[in-house]
A = this chain, B = another copy of it.
Amino acid sequence: MKKINGGICAAKGFKASGMYCGIKTSGTDSQNPDMPHKNDICMYVSDTVCTTAAVYTQNKVKGAPITVTKANLEKSGNKAVAVIANSKNANTCNVDGIEKAEKMCALVADELNIPKEQVVVASTGVIGLVLPIEPVEKAVPLLAQKLDYHGNAEAASAIMTTDTVMKEYAVEFEIGGKICHLGGMAKGSGMIHPNMATTLNFITTDCSISHALLQKTLSDIVKITYNCLSVDGDTSTNDMVCLMANGMAENKTIDCFDENYNTFKAALYEVMANLTKMLAKDGEGATKLIMCEVNGAKNEEESVICAKSVICSPLVKTAMFGADANCGRILGAIGYADIEIDPLKIDVSYISSKGCIDVCKGGYVIPFSEEKAKEILLDDEVTIKVNLNQGSFGITAYGCDLTYDYVKINGDYRS
Contact = CB atoms under 8 A, between A and B. Distances in A.
B364 A93 contact: yes
Contacts of A232: 314-315
A87 to B, nearest CB: 15
A314 B365 CA distance: 30
Interface stretch (A138-146, A199-207, A256-264, A405-413): A405-413
Interface stretch (A45-53, A211-219, A322-330): A322-330
Nearest to A238: B332
A129 B365 contact: yes
A238 B346 CA distance: 18
Given A232-B314, A313-B233, A314-B232, A410 B332 contact: no
Complex copy number for this chain: 2
Interface in A348-372: 360, 363-365
A157 interface: no
Contacts of A128: 326-328, 331, 360, 364-365
A182 interface: no
Contacts of A62: 335, 343
Interface of A is mostly: loop
Contacts of A402: 407
A237 B331 contact: yes
A363 B61 contact: yes
Contacts of A389: none
Interface residues of A, number: 63
Contacts of A324: 411-415
A63 to B, nearest CB: 10
B343 A60 contact: yes
B336 A235 contact: yes
Nearest to A96: B364
Given A360-B128, A365-B127, A365-B128, A190 B315 contact: yes
A306 to B, nearest CB: 11
B94 A364 contact: yes
A61 B335 contact: yes
A390 interface: no
Contacts of A335: 59-62, 235, 237
A274 interface: no
Interface string A36-73: 00000000000000000000001111100000000000
Interface of A: 58-62, 90, 92-95, 126-129, 190-191, 193, 195, 232-237, 312-315, 318-319, 321-322, 324, 326-329, 331-336, 341, 343, 346, 360, 363-365, 402-404, 406-415
27 contacts: A58-B336, A59-B336, A60-B336, A61-B343, A62-B335, A93-B327, A93-B331, A126-B326, A127-B326, A127-B327, A128-B328, A128-B364, A128-B365, A190-B315, A232-B315, A233-B312, A234-B314, A235-B335, A235-B336, A314-B406, A315-B410, A318-B407, A319-B412, A322-B411, A404-B407, A404-B408, A407-B407
Given A127-B365, A232-B314, A319-B410, 9 more contacts: A59-B335, A127-B329, A128-B328, A128-B331, A129-B365, A191-B315, A232-B315, A235-B336, A404-B407
